[in-house]
Amino acid sequence: MQNSGGAQESGAGRPGPDAAIVLSDADRERLRYKAGRGLLRALAAQAVMGLAAGIISWLVAGVEAGASALIGAGAYFIPNALFAMRLLMGLLSSRQASPFTFFMGELVKLGSAVLLLALAAYLGQGWLVWPALLFGLVCVLKGYVLLLAFRRLP
């Protein structure tokens, strides 16, 4: 059965799939809290994974490998942490979120990570251990696996 707007009703008293969702102020606040907590958990998991990569690399291959792993981890973690802080500031403000702003922030974050990796390659030519650097980078990129393991995904 169709109503006058062309949308089908999906049962007695329930709105159709094109109906707007109305949130109360308490619901919005709860969603903001959960989103902020999820961002902080993801950052913490990435930091733990980056430090673990540094320690493992140091124990397996020495100080230069440990430093290389930390550089690789930091090349992604630092821009990601700055972007997450920007997102947290947006959660605290009363302005409406913009998808364009989010995607521009993602673009800046990824570009910054590439620039930091290029800078590390340029400055660490004599001592940089590439497998360790890549290990640290991948560990931070896959920090959410730690959240999956402990069932802490938001």
pLDDT tens series, the chain, 154 aa: 444 444 444 455 566 677 777 767 777 777 777 777 878 888 988 999 999 999 999 999 999 999 999 999 999 999 999 998 888 888 777 677 778 888 998 999 999 999 999 999 999 888 999 999 999 999 999 887 877 877 766 6
Contact 84, 154 (CB under 8 A): no
Main-chain dihedrals φ then ψ at residue 8, nearest 5 degrees: -85, 145
Burial degree of 87 (CB within 10 A; 0-12, 13-18, 19+): middle
pLDDT on residue 14: 65
Give 127's contacts (C-beta < 8 A, 6+ positions apart): 64, 68
pLDDT on residue 9: 47
SS3 62: coil
Half-sphere exposure of 107 (CA within 13 A, CB side): 6
Q: Is the pTM of this model over 0.85?
A: no
